[in-house]
């Protein structure tokens, strides 16, 4: 696309012949910076996004990855135009002349609104699709954990085994769907496990249920409280151990339950 093709869109008068072709320059800069930005993001993303332990968290991380790839050109558009203008069009002293009055042409207005609108709708549809995937019903073999928040401790009860975890530990078997029923005894708490993609409020007098998640990676993670709940809010913490099915069974027995 040559400069003369674009200029009528922006609505600026045709540049004088000696003037550099600002628009072409800035668009090239924008393309270059966008490519560099996306490349850098794809290179560092694996160090920035923590490893996921469930499919759900994995897809959440993927959403972050995709959204950021989309965001880089948008951000670069503003920054490159801003930086270029501030550097190239600056005058040293108080200006005695005025800038060229520009008006957005209808084409530019429609184009800008359409592009931002399409981007925005894409994000909404993506989000709705992800949300829809989480609404699947729990399979019959799903492990149910009743989570009770109380200032300032989480307690975990496994009704299928009639046993509570003895301490600040949430033990989960790998590759088995799990669903958390979360409630609170006193004030609002927020039940959150980053690596599992699970995050739901514990409301007094209500039971809220998380989406079904299936841990796919053994390891140690943490439950935190993400709703300010008073004095020891930042100590309201538990370990999450995702272990093999057999280890889980022996753990249940060690806590006084029966398999």
Contact 143, 176 (CB under 8 A): yes
Q: List, in sequence order, every residue forming a beta bridge with 149; answer none if it has no partner.
A: 154, 184
The one among 9, 123, 144, 179 contacting other proteins by CB under 8 A: 123
Kind and range of the H or E run holding 136: none
Stretch binding other proteins (CB under 8 A), from 29-37, 137-145, 160-168, 171-179: 160-168
d(CA 136, CA 67): 24
Q: Of 232 and 253, which CB lies nearer to other proteins in the complex structure?
A: 232
Give the nearer residue to other proteins in terms of CB position, either 79 or 217. Answer: 79
Residue 88, helix vs strand vs coil:
helix
Q: Is 20 in the site for other proteins (CB under 8 A)?
A: no
Residue 203 is a binding residue for other proteins (CB under 8 A): yes
Which residue number, 144 or 153, has a Cβ lying nearer to other proteins?
153
Residue of 37, 39, 118, 30 whose CA lies nearest to 72: 37
Yes or no: say if 130 and 63 are a contact pair by the CB < 8 Å rule.
yes
Q: Which stretch binds other proteins (CB under 8 A): 29-37, 92-100, 172-180, 244-252?
A: 92-100
Within 37-66, the residues that bind other proteins by CB under 8 A are 48-50, 57, 59-61, 63-64
Q: How far is the CB of 196 from other proteins (least distance, A)?
A: 9
Q: Which of residues 172-201 bind other proteins (CB under 8 A)?
A: 185-188, 190, 192, 194-195, 197-201
* Least separation in angstroms between CB 220 and other proteins: 11
Q: What are phi and psi of 224, to 5 degrees?
A: -125, 165
Greatest Cα pair distance, the chain, in angstroms, is 87
User: In this chain, which of 67, 138, 179, 218 binds other proteins, going by CB under 8 A?
Assistant: 67
221 or 248: whose CB is closer to other proteins? 221
CA torsion angle for 39, 40, 43, 49 (degrees, to 10)?
-120
Nearer to other proteins, 95 or 141 (CB): 95
Sequence-ordered list of residues with C-beta below 8 angstroms from that of 90, at least 6 positions apart, any chain: none
Q: Of these, 104, 139, 162, 219, which contacts other proteins (CB under 8 A)?
A: 104
Question: Which of these, 4, 24, 7, lies nearest to 108 by C-alpha position?
Answer: 7
Q: DSSP string of 179-227? A: EEEEEESSS-EEEEEGGGTEEEEE-BT--EEPPPB-B-S-EEEEEEE-S
According to CB under 8 A, which residues from 140 to 159 bind other proteins?
Answer: 148, 150-153, 155, 157
Residue of 28, 39, 46, 131 interacting with other proteins (CB under 8 A): 131
Binding of other proteins at residue 71 (CB under 8 A)? yes
């Amino acid at each position: 696309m040559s400069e003369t093709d674009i200029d009528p869109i922006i609505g600026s008068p045709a540049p004088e012949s000696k003037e550099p072709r600002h628009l072409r320059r800035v668009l090239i800069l924008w393309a270059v910076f966008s490519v560099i930005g996306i490349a850098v993001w794809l290179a560092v993303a694996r160090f920035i996004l923590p490893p996921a332990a469930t499919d759900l968290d994995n897809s959440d991380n993927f959403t972050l990855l995709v959204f950021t790839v989309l965001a880089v050109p948008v951000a670069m558009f503003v920054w490159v135009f801003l930086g270029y203008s501030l550097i190239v069009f600056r005058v040293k002293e108080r200006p005695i002349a005025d800038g060229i009055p520009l008006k957005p042409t209808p084409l530019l207005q429609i184009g800008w609104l359409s592009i931002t609108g399409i981007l925005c709708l894409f994000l909404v549809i993506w989000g709705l699709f992800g949300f829809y995937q989480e609404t699947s019903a729990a399979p019959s073999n799903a492990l149910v954990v009743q989570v009770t928040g109380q200032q300032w401790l989480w307690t975990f009860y496994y009704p299928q085994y009639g046993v509570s975890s003895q301490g600040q530990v949430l033990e989960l078997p790998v590759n088995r769907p799990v669903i958390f029923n979360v409630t609170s005894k006193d004030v609002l708490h927020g039940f959150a496990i980053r690596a599992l993609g699970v995050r739901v409020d514990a409301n007094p007098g209500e039971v809220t249920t998380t989406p079904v998640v299936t841990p796919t990676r053994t390891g140690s993670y943490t439950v935190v409280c993400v709703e300010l709940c008073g004095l020891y809010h930042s100590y309201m913490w538990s370990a999450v151990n995702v272990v093999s099915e057999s280890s889980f069974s022996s753990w249940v027995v060690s806590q006084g339950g029966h398999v």
